Amino acid sequence: MKVPHDEQDMINLFELEASIVVSERDESVCGKIEKPQRRQPKLLYDPAINLNSAKISDGQVSTASIKNIMRELHDLRKNPMENFEIFVSKENAFFWKVIMQGPNLTHYADGRWLLSVEFPMTYPQVPPEIRFVTPIYHCNVNDDGKICHDILRGKWSQKTRLTQVLQQILHLLEEPNAEDALSTTKGTTYISSRDNYYKKVTEWKQKYATATVGE
């Protein structure tokens, strides 16, 4: 059976499939290849509360990782970050939802994106997994929401704070790094045609990132 596709479709498919384990793919699909669905965190739709209302009971404070997460909560309460609203899962303090507003004077301004933050049990030895849940057009973010930044890879240390990570993600929207692009297609577009690149940024923002915090 002939599989209809073009080079662009194959590149997009490869980039997305590279971030999805084989067990998550639909084995019943045949014929035309479709993009796998975006990976959704298991706790994404569980109730969450605003950072200022979040409390962790004494019974939960039993591991070094939880103590470090509490420290992050305390720091963010004491020094709220502009452009970010933080929500903590009611059932699991290791899972946060973050609403990020696009930085002013950029093509992302006035857009709002939902990000998920999943702290590993070995935090802070291992960095949190942070992904864009809301689709965003950016050369350093793939179609599954994975973010490419050194602070989440080789430059991570136990002293790195979540505030630093979020600030770097915001800075990435201000200054994309096409030389370390996670999406080959978007990186190439950024280098070859900034007008086309930012046209797509605006299109995706208007299509996906206009919801209010309540929504």
**197 and 176 fall within a common domain:** yes
**21 and 48 fall within a common domain:** no
- At 165, list the tokens: 């990570």
**pLDDT at residue 212, rounded to an integer:** 73
Residue with tokens 């699991």: 92
Name residues whose C-beta falls within 8 Å of residue 193's C-beta, 6 or more positions apart in sequence.
none
**56 and 27 fall within a common domain:** no
Report yes or no on 213 lying in a domain. no
Reported as a single tens digit per residue, the pLDDT across 89-98 is 888 889 999 9
Q: Is 148 a catalytic site residue?
A: yes
**67 and 119 fall within a common domain:** yes
Reported as a single tens digit per residue, the pLDDT across 100-119 is 999 999 999 999 999 999 99
**3 and 64 fall within a common domain:** no
183-193 average pLDDT score: 95
CA 8 to chain centre: 23
Cα first-last separation, the chain: 43
Cα–Cα distance, 97 to 49 (Å, whole number): 9
**55 and 116 fall within a common domain:** yes
Report yes or no on 196 lying in a domain. yes
- pTM higher than the cut 0.85: no
Q: Residue 172: pLDDT band by 50, 70, 90 thresholds?
A: very high
- Choose the catalytic residue: 136, 148, 152, 182: 148
Report yes or no on 197 lying in a domain. yes
